[in-house]
Amino acid sequence: MTTAEIQGTTLGERVPVGGRFGWLMTIYRYALVILLALVFVFPFVVMLTTAFKVSDEIFTAPPELFPRSWTLEHFYNALTQIPFWRFLINTVVIAGLSVLGTVLVSPLVAYSLAKLRWRGRNLLFIMVLATMMLPPQVTLIPIYMMWNKVGLTGTILPLVIPAFLGTPFFIFLIRQFLLSVPDELIEAAKVDGASEFRIYWSIVLPIARPALITSAVFQFVWAWTDFLYPLIYLNDEESYTLSIGLYSFLGQHGVQWGPLMAACVLFTLPAFLIFLVFQRYFIGGIATGALK
Amino acid sequence: MSEARSRNSEPTGRALLKGLAFASPFIIGFLVLYAWPILASGYYSLTDFSLFKAPKWVGLANYERMISDAKFWKSLYNTLFFTFVGVPVDIAISIAGAHILNQKLKGQPLWRALVYLPSIVPAVAAGFLWRWLLNAQYGFVNEILRWFRIPQPNWLLDASWGGISVIVLMLWTVGGTMLIYLAALKNVPQELYEAAELDGAGPLRRFWHITWPMISPVTLFQVIVLMIAFLQVFTQPFVLSKDPGLGTQTATGPGDSMLSYSIYLFQNGFTFLKMGYASAMAWVLLFVTLAITLLILWSAKKWVFYDNR
C-alpha cells in the first residue's frame, strides 16, 4: 500500500492535470472505486433487506430496495422451519476438525520438504504439486467406494480425515514460507542438542504462525462453504451441513424468499466474521498466488 | 547428538528416516487419496459397475458410449462455453478493477476487502441470492437494465441465457483475481511509465506496451487456474438450476443450458449409479484439461514476456 501511495503522490505532483482541477480528478477516482465496490456489495444489501421485509413487500414490481416495515419474522422462521441449529453444529464440527487437521499435519510435511535433507524429498514435492493440479472428479468415485466399503459414508469422517493426511495446497503454502526461515536458527538449536521434533515444535512452528493462520482461515472457509462433498457423503438430515440443509430447504418449502434470504444471512455471517478478524491473512494468502 | 555436526553430514539413513517420518501423513494420504484412486478410476472406467454390482470388464465401451450420448456433448459444450466466455471476461474485469484500485486512494484495505467479500460467501447462499437478483420480474438486475432501457432477458428460464447466468454468478467472485492483479501492477517498475510518458505515450499505449507485457506472467498463471476452475464448475449451476419441486435431486436448467460437465458426471455416478461411465467421464475431463493447459502453455511463447534483467 505504501508503494501505491508514494506512486500516487509523485504522479499527482508531476501530471499537469492536477493544478486547479486536481479535486475533479480526486472525485473521479473515488467515484470509480465506489462504483466498483458497489457492484460487489450491492447483492449483499439486497440479501439483507429482503430478509427484513414482510412477505407482502418482497414481491413488488418494480422491486424496492428498502423495506417499508422491518421484521424479524423470517429469521425466526429460518431458525424454526429447518433444524438450523443442528446444521450449524454439524458445520462447525466439520470445519473445526478440518482446521485442526490442517494445522497439525500440513506443517509437518512442509517442514520435511523445506528444512530436512533426504533422498526422495524432491519426488515428494513433485507429488504435492501433481496432486494440487489433479481434477478431484478423477478420484471422487474410487474414494467414495473406499469409504463405502469401510462403512463410513453417511458420517462426517470422509469430510475431515483428508485434512489429517495433509492438504497439498497448504503443504505448498507453508513450505514456501519455511524456505525463508534461516537455517541458522535450526542449526543453533541442534548444537544445543534439541531433537528434531523439539526444534520443529518450539522453534519452527512459532515462526510459521502467519502461514499457519493463513492455512487455517482458508481451510475454515472452504469447509464452511463446501457443497459437493457433503452432498455426496451426508445422506441423513441429522448430519447435514448448512450448505446441504439450505439446498434442500428450497425443495421442502417451495421458494420462500424471506426465510431463505434470512438463512443465507445467518449462514454467511460466521465466514464474514472470520474474514474481518483475519483479513490480512486472507489478502496475504491471495497475494502469494497459491490461494484464491 | 552432542557433537556439532552440520546437517549436510548427517548420515543419509537417519536423514531419510526423519524426512519420511515428518512426511508420513501425506505419504499415506497420497497413497490412499490419490495414487490408489487414480488407478482404481482408470480400471473402473473400463468396467460396468455400481454400488451394488461388482465391476464387470467392458473394455472401451464407456468411452464409445459417450460418442453417441447427446447429454454428454451438451454438458461438454456448456462447460467449454462457461470456460471460453468466463475466463477472458474474468481476466478483463480483474485487470480493469485492479487499475481502479491501484489509484491514489485513501482506505485501501477497505476497498480491497469489499471486492474480495463475495469470494467467501458460501456458494449455496450466493446461488440462491443470485436466483433472486436474476428473477425476471422481481429481481434487481432486470430493474437496473430497465433504468438504462436495455432489454431484460428472462435469465434463469430462457435456454439461451442459462449459461450466461452461471457465468454472471461466477464473476461475482472475481475479486480474488483482481487482488492478484493489483499486486502485479504494484510490481511494475515506475521508471518504465515515466520514460514512456516523456516519449509522449498516452494511457492506452502505456497499457499495451508496458503494463500488459509486464503482467503477462501473472495472466498466464491466472488463465490456467481459472480455466481449471471453470472446467470443474459444479455448485453454481447446480444451485441456480435447482427445481424447487425436487429435494436434493438435480435439475439442469432450461434446455439443459446449466448442465455442466461435473453435474452430468455427478448424476451418472450418484443418481443413475453408472459409476463406470462416470469414471470414464472423469478421465476425459482430465485429458481435456491437460490438452487446454498445453495449448495455453504453447501459446505463451507468443504473448508472455519474461523480464530477464
Q: Which domains does chain A have, with CATH numbers?
A: 41-71 (no CATH), 84-287 (1.10.3720.10)
Contact (Cβ atoms closer than 8 angstroms) between residue B287 and residue B189: no
Q: Does B97 contact A41 at a Cβ distance shorter than 8 Å? A: no
A94 Cα to chain B: minimum distance (Å): 15
B244 interfaces chain A, CB cutoff of 8 Å: yes
B97 interfaces chain A, CB cutoff of 8 Å: yes
Classify burial at B298, counting beta carbons within 10 Å of its beta carbon; exposed 0-12, middle 13-18, buried 19 or more.
exposed
Low-confidence ranges of chain B (pLDDT < 70): 1-9, 245-249, 307-309
Q: Does B125 contact A30 at a Cβ distance shorter than 8 Å? A: no
Q: Does B146 contact A62 at a Cβ distance shorter than 8 Å? A: yes
Chain B hits for A111, Cβ within 8 Å: 22
Classify burial at B104, counting beta carbons within 10 Å of its beta carbon; exposed 0-12, middle 13-18, buried 19 or more.
middle
* Beta-bridge partners for B57: B47
Q: Does A260 contact B128 at a Cβ distance shorter than 8 Å? A: yes
Chain B hits for A174, Cβ within 8 Å: none
Chain B hits for A242, Cβ within 8 Å: 122, 124
Q: Does A247 contact B124 at a Cβ distance shorter than 8 Å? A: yes
B160 Cα to chain A: minimum distance (Å): 24
Q: In chain B, positions 114-133, which contact chain A (CB-CB < 8 Å)?
A: 114-125, 128-130, 132-133
What pTM does this model have?
0.91
Q: Does B103 contact A33 at a Cβ distance shorter than 8 Å? A: yes
Low-confidence ranges of chain A (pLDDT < 70): 1-19, 251-254, 287-292
Among A30, A165, A274, beta carbon nearest to B28: A165
Q: What is the pLDDT of residue B51?
A: 81
Cell representation of residue B307: 523480464
Q: What is the pLDDT of residue B63?
A: 97
Among B123, B231, B278, beta carbon nearest to A141: B278
Q: What is the pLDDT of residue A250?
A: 73
Which one of B17, B20, B26, B94 would you mutate to disrupt binding with A, by most A Cβ within 10 Å of its Cβ? B26
B193 Cα to chain A: minimum distance (Å): 10
Q: In chain B, what are the domain boundaries?
A: 64-303
User: Does the domain at residues B64-303 carry the CATH identifier 3.40.50.300?
Assistant: no
Cell representation of residue A187: 542449526
Q: Does B41 contact A142 at a Cβ distance shorter than 8 Å? A: yes
B42 Cα to chain A: minimum distance (Å): 9
Q: What is the pLDDT of residue A288?
A: 66
Q: Which chain A residue has its CA at the smallest distance from B221's CA?
A: A289
The residue type at A28: Y
Across the A/B interface, how many CB contacts are shorter than 8 Å?
Answer: 304
Chain B hits for A183, Cβ within 8 Å: 7
Among B115, B116, B244, beta carbon nearest to A36: B115
Vertex A268 angle, CA B155 and B235, to 5°: 45
Assign A121 to helix, strand or coil.
Answer: helix
In sequence order, the 6+-apart residues with CB closer than 8 A to the CB of A194 are A202, A203
B30 interfaces chain A, CB cutoff of 8 Å: yes
In sequence order, the 6+-apart residues with CB closer than 8 A to the CB of A198 are A189
Q: How far apart are CA B55 and CA B273, in angstroms?
A: 12
Chain A hits for B275, Cβ within 8 Å: 141, 145
Q: What is the pLDDT of residue A15?
A: 47
Helix axes A73-81, A22-52, angle to 10 degrees: 60
B36 interfaces chain A, CB cutoff of 8 Å: yes
Which one of B9, B93, B128 would you mutate to disrupt binding with A, by most A Cβ within 10 Å of its Cβ? B128
Q: How far apart are CA B2 and CA B7, in angstroms?
A: 13
Q: How far apart are CA B276 and CA B67, in angstroms?
A: 15
Q: How far apart are CA A70 and CA A52, in angstroms?
A: 5
Q: Does A250 contact B244 at a Cβ distance shorter than 8 Å? A: yes
A288 Cα to chain B: minimum distance (Å): 8
Phi and psi torsions of B56, nearest 5°: -120, 125
Q: How far apart are CA A126 and CA B30, in angstroms?
A: 12
Among B104, B111, B140, beta carbon nearest to A11: B104
Q: Which chain A residue has its CA at the smallest distance from B187's CA?
A: A3
**Is ipTM > 0.95 here?**
no
Q: How far apart are CA A1 and CA B231, in angstroms?
A: 34
Which one of A3, A11, A33 would you mutate to disrupt binding with B, by most B Cβ within 10 Å of its Cβ? A33
* Beta-bridge partners for A44: none
Q: What is the pLDDT of residue A13?
A: 44
B28 interfaces chain A, CB cutoff of 8 Å: yes
